[in-house]
């Protein structure tokens, strides 16, 4: 039976929120200990170790490295494809009397847009249309200078982007499965986080209100969105 998630944020965001709160707790440990002795150095060390363990689950090092490498290769393939599309657009203009199609109707313009958006699925879909139109109008395009080697660039681009997209999906799915298998531990970490945050808000509501955002989930989320996007550029 699947364990229900108790927190309303991404797994990656939870880890970074916990790390922010860990830093705040370390800074304010004396205040917390004065309030109740359960918040001692041992408690802080335990919280740190739980966060570190879950970071390895949510951001598995080897998977993350491989994912970044695959994403970089995908983007490089899209950049090369964009350059080929500019050249294809030039051939289309040269053959405009024999090919009664605009760059948009040919599929070039929407495909360029998808490459700029880094939308692999959209690139693959639109690239199929462009390849089909190249085949349909191959004779006049070759007449105006297009080579067989240039045509092959589009087929190779499709193969590379399709392979990279599939591998990317496979790794992201594996990461999600790994996190799902550890959902009980992630839930427990969230519950511990909430205990610390609740006490922090009590301690600093009036005494030092400038510290309250360090223990307020909504405020922490605003900070974390930027950090997580840097660490994990594949949106769930």
Q: Return the pLDDT at 60.
A: 81
The 3-state secondary structure of the chain reads: CCCCCCCCCCHHHHHHHHHHHHHHHHHCHHHHHHHCCCCCHHHHHHHHHHHHHHHHHHCCHHHHHHHHHHHHHHHHHHHHHHHHHHHHHHHHHHCCCCCCCCHHHHCHHHHHHHHHCCCHHHHHHHHHHHHHHHHHCHHHHHHCCCCHHHHHHHHHHHHHHHHHHHHHHHHHHHHHHHHHHCHHHHHHHHHHHHHHHHHHHHHHCCCCHHHHHHHCHHHHHHHHHHHHHHHCCCCC
Q: What is the Cα–Cα distance from 77 to 65, expressed in whole angstroms?
A: 19
Please tell me the distance from the alpha carbon of residue 29 to that of residue 14, in angstroms, as a whole number.
21
Other CB atoms within 10 A of residue 50 CB: 18
Instruction: Report the C-alpha gap between 184 and 6 in whole angstroms.
Output: 9
Confidence label for 235 from pLDDT (cuts 50, 70 and 90)? very low
pLDDT one-digit tens code per residue, 18-71: 999 999 999 999 999 999 999 999 999 999 999 999 998 888 878 888 888 999
Question: Hey, where are the domains in the chain?
Answer: 11-62+176-231, 73-171
Share of the chain above pLDDT 70, in %: 95
What's the chain's average pLDDT? 92
In angstroms, rounded to a whole number, what is the distance separating the alpha carbons of residues 19 and 53?
12
């Amino acid at each position: 039976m699947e364990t229900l998630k108790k927190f309303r944020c991404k797994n990656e965001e939870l880890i970074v929120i916990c790390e922010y709160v860990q830093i705040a707790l370390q800074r304010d440990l004396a205040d917390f200990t004065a309030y109740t002795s359960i918040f001692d150095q041992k408690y802080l060390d335990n919280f740190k170790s739980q966060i570190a363990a879950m970071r390895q689950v949510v951001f598995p090092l080897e998977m993350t490295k491989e994912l970044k490498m695959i994403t970089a290769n995908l983007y490089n393939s899209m950049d090369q494809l964009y350059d080929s599309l500019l050249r294809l657009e030039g051939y289309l203009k040269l053959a405009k009397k024999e090919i009664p199609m605009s760059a948009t109707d040919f599929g070039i313009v929407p495909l360029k847009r998808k490459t700029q958006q880094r939308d692999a699925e959209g690139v693959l879909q639109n690239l199929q249309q462009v390849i089909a139109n190249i085949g349909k109008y191959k004779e006049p395009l070759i007449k105006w200078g297009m080579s067989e080697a240039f045509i092959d660039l589009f087929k190779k681009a499709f193969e590379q982007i399709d392979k990279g997209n599939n591998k990317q999906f496979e790794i992201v799915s594996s990461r999600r499965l790994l996190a799902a298998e550890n959902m009980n531990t992630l839930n427990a970490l969230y519950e511990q986080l909430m205990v610390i945050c609740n006490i922090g808000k009590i301690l600093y509501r009036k005494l030092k209100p400038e510290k309250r955002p360090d223990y307020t989930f909504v405020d922490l989320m605003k900070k974390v969105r930027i950090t997580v996007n840097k660490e994990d550029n594949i949106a769930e």
